[in-house]
Structure 1
Amino acid sequence: MSEVPPGTPTPPERPLVRALDPVNAARPGGGAPPLPTLYLADRLLVIGYPTDERAPLLDELGDALAEQGVAYAPTEKSQRRLERVRGLRSQRTAPRDELDDIWVTSVVLTTITSADRSPDVPAALAPDSPPDAWTVLQRLRVAHARVAESVSLEHVVFPAPGHWGGIGGHWGGIDGHWGGIGHWGGIGHWGGIGHWGGIGHWGGIEALMEYEVPGRGGRMPVSVTLADPALRARSLDRPPVVAIPDTALAAHPWFEDDARVIRLAVADGELVPDATAQAAAISVTDSLTGVRGGLEGHGTFIAGLIRQGCPEATILSIPVMGNDGVAEEGDVIIALRALLERHIDGQLEGRPEDCIDVLSLSMGYYAEDAGYLSGPVALLLRRFAEHGVLVVAGVGNDASTAPFVPAALAADPPKSIRPSSRPPLASVGALNPDGRSVALFSNALPVVSAMRPGVNLVSTLPMVDGAGQPSVSVGGTDPVRTTMDPDNYQGGFGVWSGTSFATPVLAAELAAELVAAKDLADVDATVMRKRAIRALRSCLGRKTS
């Protein structure tokens, strides 16, 4: 047996992931088959803060699961978060009731063993094996519909680049790190299942793969001689704030010692200053392969696009994904809820510096059914809109019509602006460099609010050198003479493609429109909603940026 070389990075511990197979998925109540999705195999999300009023419902959930021979317990992270927030509640002046219904607890399902099982629980419903979250949820929906309304799968969230965007091809980056699910874990290479049918079994895949090739959309280093756009930014009483929950924002000359950059992290449900974000943004090179994280620099690239489009904007970075480009839905929701709480506190307590104006989301998951319309992500993002925050989300890059959440929640702006009107979520697709043709990979959702440049964009990247080497290197000279190193980003800039990057192009455009409004210091929710709708209407009326 060969030994693992010293210094080999330890893969992050991940919960087991399953791919929902439409053909074989449990459907106790009948009905249409679900669409494919990736979910945590033994996890469910429970919506609602567990106050005394909700305790009976939680008891009902426990009783309902017991009928299946299943028990549940909050994850360690969820339990720590609950204990911390309970301790802080008495110290807060802002009302928390309006946020209780978007509190989400991630729970782990376990099987009640034969020895502990009640005699009235059929053994067929409670085998002594790990429970499957999808099967458990379907049985809840049949036998306990009211309880099931507050329960959903916990999905795997990934960046909008999707299939080809650096996750490893055919979900290859998820293999091993996410439970060895392989190429969709049994539902076929592409499965012929229709969900990905916009590109067929093979037809179109080869064309999509062109976007991976450097020079045709693929990631590659480039030289940039332009100065940091912030050097020409106007001084404002309160600049617009664009929040980026993504991978960490790496150290870069554009973002060093810059008051326009805020790095925060989530600690037990609270946002705190993040002193380690810049180091975390750089993945450790795998000593076995020499490969760095496939999505390394994703958030940094997004930040650079916002800096280019609106130099005045403050960028608020919250790491929710590692450099493998995947995250647990519960973790993303916790980060977003903490951000929303910070924003609302800022509005109610007169701290406009804690408020945000635009939330840029270059991530999501494919929904298995229409439950996403009233699920935790929809509830949370609606609350952002009610408090005047513009939310933009990438439509995904799989040439699919399947619902990619949250972009699938997009709607048209209201026809008239009233005090109760709220800005709808805006979904963003990608254009080719000609500014007219749609990128072949860009998903086609029922509502695509805007198309923006998303191919061969130039932006900031972590200043690192990967495993690749120049094809020719001539020794004996000083400096050394070589051909271009294909993955040396020490110059700090690169080219990349995806709706992940079309999204911040629109986010920056919205921020620039808000700058023109000149009343950003007023963060009253009604004022922010009206301002946001006007900015959205103006920007969506433009065909390209």
Structure 2
Amino acid sequence: MVVKFVPKPAEQSGDDDRTAVPEVPQQLLERHGARVLHPANALVAGGPYPPPRSTVYRAATMLVPNELARDPKVVAAFNGVLSELGVEMVPPRRQDNLTERLDRLPRPVPMRVTGEVGKPAQLDCWHALQHLRVAALNGKLPKDLVDQLSVDHLLVGTVDIGGTPWEASGAGGAPWEASGTPGSGYARGGTTGRIPVALAAPAPPRGTLDRRPVVAVVDSGIGPHPWFDLPDRTAPPPAGGFLSVFPELQEAIRKQGEEAALTTTTQVLLDYWDAPVTDNPLIGMLDRDTGHGTFIAGIVRQSAPEANVLAIRVLHSDGVAYESDVLLALWGLILRVQDAQEHDPERMVDVVSLSLGYFDEAGSTSTFTGQIAEAIDKLRELGVLVVAAAGNDATSRRFYPAALAERPSNPDIAPQVVSVGALNPSTTRALFSNEAPWVRAWATGAGVVSTFPTDVQGAISANLMPATGRGALDSDDFRAGFAVWDGTSFAAPLAAAEITAAMIRCSAEDPGLALKGVDRKVAVKRAWAALTKAGG
């Protein structure tokens, strides 16, 4: 597999406006309590707030910084304005040890109808946000507080090959879709372009290091596989192995979801296991991102076997992640790295791999990109390198967080986000990959073979079974534990793994960059040295 870095362009070009409004299946919107923002009919506060572009958001959840959500006077002021719409915010009632430490963490604050007689109301946080912005422009609310509010966007795992990241495979007809269309370069028999394969290879061996670098995979969680010493789902990964989880953070994500579920339609991530395999047991079709995190962990194991993977689940098996969960995961990693640098070096995280993203309604000026940029920049200040997938939409429209790569780098902190597009095995650029000046690295992302949960078997069966014990290839039976899949989702962790492998080589060559050193200055220097050695 190949990783290539591209030089920073002299000038940045505008992004592509031709990307259509996301075509989100209605069942997906209903499952997550979400809406599509259509620019043609969206309310706009005006003034300094620009007309929006298309995006998708949770209808009844507003993102509010923790320090504001915990202030009764601030919430009362917001609700005084929102009462004109017949709705109100319901601030979170529960805090845990992790979120209590994070004043800047944007919390998903549910909204509800106040129930005033004779006053119909609609729960739509975009409308509510515009109402609050108008109040700020009129001097009724402090603008600096209102500008910290945002809708809670839906992000997607970047594996669906089609015209938008929301499109179910086979629903479109673009030549790069994994739909089985004759002549399609990525056509396969599987339901989402993935198919089971056999791999006659043991787990790559691991040498001995003073400290193993850690790649945090913020994705769909884990499933059983022998490479990770996980025979089933009865127990977490064994201590000291290649794969580990973050129970404290996972519990905070669960509590955050349950809090929002008290008043809004939402799906709750219960733990770190990649589940459910299917969202409709009567049909049994595999969810489109089932196995996503396990597949990524296998890529890291193949390319940087001496490293460890820390799996954090934010992505539902249908390919959707909530912005609030992603932000909580990033801030949880910040606390973990701070603890490592102050107390316990074994809790250190060196690289973060993000195979998810979305198109923002306000481009590089949005509140979301400010929030995620703040979290990523804090990680970079601590010496952590962040790698993000560029997206699979064959567009140059900025896909976040990967598009943060176009921001200038500061040599005093770790390198800017490494955005990664997908290459074919022949090293040509994949038809489906996004491409723009903000895509700074390219790695193999088509025809990739990696690990898959061994307990996954979908409803599609072999179409020819002439006798007992015989049959054709069952494209939905992954019990062999391996699959082939396409997407920038898999190019990004390959780049992350190659940078991590380069980090190991740098630490061996220069005692000043030894992995056992985790203080901020050493981590920053090691991140820059690793990226340089990897070719970036």
Query: TM range, normalised to the smaller chain?
Result: 0.7 to 0.9
For 2:431, the aligned partner's letter is L
Unaligned runs of 5+ in 1: 1-10, 90-95, 117-126, 174-182, 184-201
Unaligned runs of 5+ in 2: 1-27, 137-142, 179-183, 230-237, 256-269, 508-513
What is the deviation of 1:533?
A: 1.6
For 1:21, the aligned partner's letter is H
Q: Alignment partner for residue 228 of structure 1, among 203, 219, 230?
A: 203
What is the deviation of 1:336?
A: 2.2
1:242 aligns with 2:215: yes
The verdict on how the C-alpha distance between 1:413 and 1:513 changes in structure 2, with shifts beyond 3 A counting, is: farther
What is the deviation of 1:50?
A: 4.3
For 2:302, the aligned partner's letter is Q
Question: Are 2:113 and 2:122, in contact at CA under 8 Å, matched by a contact in 1?
Answer: yes
Residue 52 of structure 2: aligned partner: 34
The verdict on how the C-alpha distance between 1:279 and 1:138 changes in structure 2, with shifts beyond 3 A counting, is: closer
Residue 481 of structure 2: aligned partner: 492
Question: Are 1:211 and 1:218, in contact at CA under 8 Å, matched by a contact in 2?
Answer: no
Question: Are 2:44 and 2:51, in contact at CA under 8 Å, matched by a contact in 1?
Answer: yes
1:120-269 equivalent positions in 2, closer than 5 A: 128-144=120-136, 145-162=143-160, 164=162, 170=167, 205-209=174-178, 210=184, 212-214=186-188, 218-229=193-204, 231=205, 233-256=206-229, 257=238, 259-265=241-247, 266-268=250-252
Q: Alignment partner for residue 379 of structure 2, among 384, 387, 396?
A: 384
For 1:268, the aligned partner's letter is A
For 2:61 and 2:186, how far apart are their aligned partners in 1? 34
What is the deviation of 1:111?
A: 3.5
What is the deviation of 1:447?
A: 0.9
Residue 262 of structure 2: aligned partner: none
Question: Are 1:37 and 1:367, in contact at CA under 8 Å, matched by a contact in 2?
Answer: yes
Question: Are 1:166 and 1:294, in contact at CA under 8 Å, matched by a contact in 2?
Answer: no
Residue 334 of structure 1: aligned partner: 328
Question: Are 1:360 and 1:507, in contact at CA under 8 Å, matched by a contact in 2?
Answer: yes
For 1:373 and 1:39, how far apart are their aligned partners in 2? 11
Question: Are 1:208 and 1:440, in contact at CA under 8 Å, matched by a contact in 2?
Answer: no
For 2:368 and 2:438, how far apart are their aligned partners in 1? 14
Residue 93 of structure 2: aligned partner: 79
For residue 39 of structure 1, give the secondary structure of its aligned residue in structure 2: strand
- The TM-score normalised by the length of structure 2 is 0.79
Question: Are 1:282 and 1:462, in contact at CA under 8 Å, matched by a contact in 2?
Answer: no
Question: Are 1:390 and 1:532, in contact at CA under 8 Å, matched by a contact in 2?
Answer: yes
What is the deviation of 1:444?
A: 2.3
What is the deviation of 1:292?
A: 1.9
For residue 514 of structure 1, give the secondary structure of its aligned residue in structure 2: helix
What is the deviation of 1:212?
A: 4.8
For residue 342 of structure 1, give the secondary structure of its aligned residue in structure 2: helix
Residue 105 of structure 1: aligned partner: 107
Deviations 1:312-359 (A, max 9, x none): 01111111122112122112222222222111111112x111110000
Question: Are 1:60 and 1:147, in contact at CA under 8 Å, matched by a contact in 2?
Answer: no
The verdict on how the C-alpha distance between 1:207 and 1:310 changes in structure 2, with shifts beyond 3 A counting, is: closer
For residue 268 of structure 1, give the secondary structure of its aligned residue in structure 2: helix
- The TM-score normalised by the length of structure 1 is 0.77
Question: Are 1:240 and 1:520, in contact at CA under 8 Å, matched by a contact in 2?
Answer: yes
The verdict on how the C-alpha distance between 1:172 and 1:499 changes in structure 2, with shifts beyond 3 A counting, is: closer
For 2:414 and 2:315, how far apart are their aligned partners in 1? 29
For 1:374 and 1:220, how far apart are their aligned partners in 2? 35
The verdict on how the C-alpha distance between 1:222 and 1:448 changes in structure 2, with shifts beyond 3 A counting, is: same
Residue 232 of structure 2: aligned partner: none
The verdict on how the C-alpha distance between 1:166 and 1:293 changes in structure 2, with shifts beyond 3 A counting, is: farther
For 2:168 and 2:121, how far apart are their aligned partners in 1? 27
What is the deviation of 1:215?
A: 8.1
For 1:375 and 1:165, how far apart are their aligned partners in 2? 27
Residue 318 of structure 1: aligned partner: 312
Question: Are 2:149 and 2:367, in contact at CA under 8 Å, matched by a contact in 1?
Answer: no
Residue 3 of structure 1: aligned partner: none
The verdict on how the C-alpha distance between 1:360 and 1:344 changes in structure 2, with shifts beyond 3 A counting, is: same
What is the deviation of 1:228?
A: 0.4
Deviating more after overlay: 243-252 vs 258-267 = 258-267
What is the deviation of 1:448?
A: 0.8
Q: Alignment partner for residue 523 of structure 1, among 494, 498, 518?
A: 518
The verdict on how the C-alpha distance between 1:224 and 1:413 changes in structure 2, with shifts beyond 3 A counting, is: farther
For 2:289 and 2:371, how far apart are their aligned partners in 1? 26
For residue 303 of structure 1, give the secondary structure of its aligned residue in structure 2: helix
For 1:62, the aligned partner's letter is N
For residue 376 of structure 1, give the secondary structure of its aligned residue in structure 2: helix
Q: Alignment partner for residue 358 of structure 2, among 347, 352, 365?
A: 365
What is the deviation of 1:40?
A: 0.4
For 1:71 and 1:34, how far apart are their aligned partners in 2? 24
For 2:201 and 2:157, how far apart are their aligned partners in 1? 28
The verdict on how the C-alpha distance between 1:32 and 1:84 changes in structure 2, with shifts beyond 3 A counting, is: closer
For 1:225, the aligned partner's letter is A
What is the deviation of 1:399?
A: 1.1
The verdict on how the C-alpha distance between 1:253 and 1:442 changes in structure 2, with shifts beyond 3 A counting, is: same
Deviations 1:142-179 (A, max 9, x none): 33132221101101121022454998x73589xxxxxx
The verdict on how the C-alpha distance between 1:335 and 1:374 changes in structure 2, with shifts beyond 3 A counting, is: closer
The verdict on how the C-alpha distance between 1:113 and 1:481 changes in structure 2, with shifts beyond 3 A counting, is: closer
What is the deviation of 1:32?
A: 4.8
What is the deviation of 1:493?
A: 0.6
Residue 23 of structure 2: aligned partner: none
For 1:279 and 1:426, how far apart are their aligned partners in 2? 27
Question: Are 1:243 and 1:358, in contact at CA under 8 Å, matched by a contact in 2?
Answer: yes
Residue 176 of structure 1: aligned partner: none
The verdict on how the C-alpha distance between 1:327 and 1:51 changes in structure 2, with shifts beyond 3 A counting, is: closer
What is the deviation of 1:489?
A: 1.2
The verdict on how the C-alpha distance between 1:344 and 1:211 changes in structure 2, with shifts beyond 3 A counting, is: farther
For 2:34, the aligned partner's letter is V
Question: Are 2:251 and 2:271, in contact at CA under 8 Å, matched by a contact in 1?
Answer: no
Deviations 1:480-525 (A, max 9, x none): 2322222221111110000000000001011101111221111111
1:512 aligns with 2:530: no
For 2:397, the aligned partner's letter is A
1:24 aligns with 2:41: yes
Residue 309 of structure 1: aligned partner: 303
Deviations 1:167-203 (A, max 9, x none): 8x73589xxxxxxxxx9xxxxxxxxxxxxxxxxxx8x
Question: Are 1:212 and 1:218, in contact at CA under 8 Å, matched by a contact in 2?
Answer: yes
For 1:48 and 1:366, how far apart are their aligned partners in 2? 25
Deviations 1:40-93 (A, max 9, x none): 0121101243498x665444433343454431113xxx432x25558xx6xxxx
For 1:240 and 1:488, how far apart are their aligned partners in 2? 34
